[in-house]
Amino acid sequence: MSIRKRIVTIDGPSGGGKSTASRALAARLYFTYLDTGAMYRAVAFQCHKNELEAKETPELSDLLDSMTMELLPPQAGGDDVRVVVNGDEIGPELRTPEMGMLASKYSGLPSVRQTLTRLQQEIGKEGRIVAEGRDTGTVVFPDAAWKFFLDASPEERAQRRSAQLQSKGESVNEAELLAQIIQRDKDDRERSLAPLAAALDAITIDSTQLTADEVVEAMYQHVLHTSCCRDE
Ligand code: DC
């Protein structure tokens, strides 16, 4: 058997329930949760703040070379991983749909992907992580022991996102959210570099008709009943 790392990857389009599932699965396995989307959002935030175009330029290269990034656990009562870039924590702007769109745009740039892939591999080198994103099973951790691709219909995803934003007291336009989700899927799936895709050895779960608990249970049972690594 090839040597696999004790890593779970959960990829899929936005709003498919990846974050909820990844967080809960990580807690059940006593693994660390790695939110790679937050890292792409943080880079987009920095680029936007510095008014950089989504292009390979010397300014982008300088920004990436000099950037430090640290992920912190959620604050008490919250769920979102916090991101500190160059010593400053990015606020709630990190999680807005607009920042998601920007992240999708900048994430097509080779230098951005290279920088973040390297950082993610460094964080995951000891294993025991649940990584969530678009390419964690295909590019970042191809040797992960357990890979999932979590999907749901665009309408269901828009509705979930809307409920999530409303619970944070934000006003939402559901039609606009649906349009953004469809556009972001298209951009993420069609980009040439590390596109959103299920790894060949990933298990695809369609969560349209499932509760979050059912998704996590299915994943947990799969991890529990599939041995992975040589030291088992
Ligand atoms: O998961 P999210 O919505 O926070 O991700 C925001 C964007 O970041 C997403 O539209 C595409 C990009 N992304 C990526 O390209 N690769 C990843 N592994 C994670 C996110």
pLDDT value of position 228 = 78
pLDDT, tens digit (0-9, with 9 covering 90-100), for 89-113:
999 999 988 999 899 999 999 999 9
Evaluate if residue 35 carries a pLDDT over 90: yes
Evaluate if residue 60 carries a pLDDT over 60: yes
pLDDT, tens digit (0-9, with 9 covering 90-100), for 129-140:
999 999 999 999
Distance CA 34, CA 142 (A): 15
The rounded Å distance from CA 188 to ligand 1 centre is: 8
Q: What is the pTM of this model?
A: 0.93
Evaluate if residue 57 carries a pLDDT over 90: yes
Ligand 1 pocket, CB under 6 A: 14, 36-37, 40-41, 100, 103-104, 107, 133-136, 184, 188
Confirm whether 230 is domain-assigned.
no
Domain span holding position 146 = 5-34+93-224
Confirm whether 111 is domain-assigned.
yes
Confirm whether 59 is domain-assigned.
no
Confirm whether 63 is domain-assigned.
no
Confirm whether 39 is domain-assigned.
no
**DSSP character at residue 140:** I
Q: How many domains does the chain have?
A: 1
- What percent of the chain has a predicted confidence (pLDDT) above 90? 78
CA 75 to chain centre: 19
Say which CATH number the domain at 16 has. 3.40.50.300
The rounded Å distance from CA 22 to ligand 1 centre is: 14
Rounded alpha-carbon distances, angstroms, from residue 62 to 36, 50, 55, 140: 21, 11, 13, 23
